[in-house]
Amino acid sequence: MAEIQFLGYDKKADDVDFLQNGGRTFAACAAADRVPVAPKLDPRQVMPPVNQGKRNSCVGNAKARAGRVCWYLDRGCRLDELGEPFSRWASYIWAQQFSGYLGKDQGAGVSGAIKASQQIGFCPESDCPYPSPTDRYFSKLPPACVPNAAPFKLQKHTPLKSYDQCYEWITQGKGPVLIGVDWTTGLLGLGSPGDLTLAVARSGKFIGGHAVTLWGWDGDRIALNNSHGGDWGDGGVAWVRPEVIDYWYTRGGEFHGMSDLAVPNIGREVVIADAGEGM
């Protein structure tokens, strides 16, 4: 775990006006409707652990996985209705394209990921498999990627500004949350049981920005789905305490609810109670 230090979120690449003013305004539920439908939702049935390896592709990993959760929700939360995962590498390259970072492995911005999700969409992993450790960086994607991504476009994003908003967004079945936050050496070695406290978030030295997907919960803790493999945290997941979300937000973190993925010929009956608690 400790040797994995590849991240890839660069806040300087973000179009802040688009992120904050180009989406929907968060609308809170009535207090009586904010109770989660289940005490826990384990995200790993929908998003098994992945490892970005020695590539600065965290934004692409987070984008592709957020898209998969949107697909899952739009298909009525049926695991048997899910196809193959979306391509993490194509997601990274398109995020780079909209961040103005295309051409070398130098990361991307969250705004680039969201713009690519809305304007290009998501293509299947088989169209553009994630590179092996020995493969060189490439930005020329196979021809099938763009047309196969077109039917799966994100409609809107919603800026979220607190733990309460993130928690409500996730537990009410609105979608996942794509985030870009400060990462430290203390977070690199997080092990089981994956309890991400404020002390852990503040520990160690700042090493760069990192993009991950928030989706799932256990009580009042939100599941952070990382891209550093299954040995990190609790099988690839950290259970984030409320004060950590608010701490990251005050440090300039980006939190954006993803929702309304266009899924061909599929209705949108959303019942998340059957998603399951564990693996």
Query: Which CATH number belongs to the domain containing residue 104 in this structure?
Result: 3.90.70.10
In this structure, what token pair is assigned to residue 76? 């009525």
Whether 241 is in a domain gets the answer yes
pLDDT, averaged across the chain: 90
Find the range with the poorest average confidence among 79-83, 89-93, 202-206: 79-83
Give the residue among 176, 233, 187 at the shortest CA–CA distance from 209: 187
Tell me: pLDDT of 125 over 60. yes
Would you place residue 176 in the very low, low, confident or very high pLDDT band (cuts 50, 70, 90)?
A: very high
Quote the pLDDT of residue 269: 38
Quote the pLDDT of residue 266: 41
Domain count, the chain: 1
Q: How many CB atoms lie within 10 A of CB 231?
A: 13
Whether 187 is in a domain gets the answer yes
Whether 87 is in a domain gets the answer yes
Percent of the chain, pLDDT > 70? Answer: 91
Tell me: pLDDT of 114 over 70. yes
Tell me which H or E stretch contains 157: strand 154-159
Please state whether beta strands 206-218 and 221-225 pair in parallel, antiparallel, or not at all (unpaired): antiparallel
Would you place residue 263 in the very low, low, confident or very high pLDDT band (cuts 50, 70, 90)?
A: low
- In a 13 Å sphere around the CA of 112, the CA atoms on its Cβ side amount to 28
Q: Cα(270)–Cα(278) distance, rounded to whole angstroms?
A: 20
In this structure, what token pair is assigned to residue 103? 């051409």
Residue ranges making up the domain that contains 119:
11-30+38-274
Quote the pLDDT of residue 271: 35
Quote the pLDDT of residue 31: 67
CB 235 within 8 A of CB 204: no
- In a 13 Å sphere around the CA of 103, the CA atoms on its Cβ side amount to 3
Q: What is the rounded average pLDDT of the residues 203-215?
A: 97
Whether 5 is in a domain gets the answer no
Quote the pLDDT of residue 252: 97
Bigger pLDDT: 19 or 28? 19
Percent of the chain, pLDDT > 90? Answer: 80
Q: What is the rounded average pLDDT of the residues 127-131?
A: 98
Tell me: pLDDT of 149 over 60. yes
Would you place residue 261 in the very low, low, confident or very high pLDDT band (cuts 50, 70, 90)?
A: confident
Q: Cα(223)–Cα(217) distance, rounded to whole angstroms?
A: 5
Quote the pLDDT of residue 37: 73
Q: What is the rounded average pLDDT of the residues 181-202?
A: 96
CB 256 within 8 A of CB 110: yes
Q: What is the pLDDT of residues 223-239, one digit of tens each?
A: 999 999 999 999 999 99
Quote the pLDDT of residue 277: 37
Q: Running DSSP on this structure, what letter comes out for residue 273?
A: G
Tell me which H or E stretch contains 95: helix 88-99
Would you place residue 166 in the very low, low, confident or very high pLDDT band (cuts 50, 70, 90)?
A: very high
Whether 3 is in a domain gets the answer no
Q: What is the CA 226 to chain-centroid distance, rounded?
A: 8
Tell me: pLDDT of 190 over 80. yes
Would you place residue 260 in the very low, low, confident or very high pLDDT band (cuts 50, 70, 90)?
A: confident
Quote the pLDDT of residue 178: 98
Give the residue among 170, 172, 149, 175 at the shortest CA–CA distance from 259: 175
Whether 85 is in a domain gets the answer yes
Q: What is the pLDDT of residues 43-87, one digit of tens each?
A: 998 999 999 999 999 999 999 999 999 999 988 888 887 889 999
pTM of the model: 0.92
Q: Cα(253)–Cα(251) distance, rounded to whole angstroms?
A: 6
> Residue 206: helix, strand or coil by DSSP?
strand
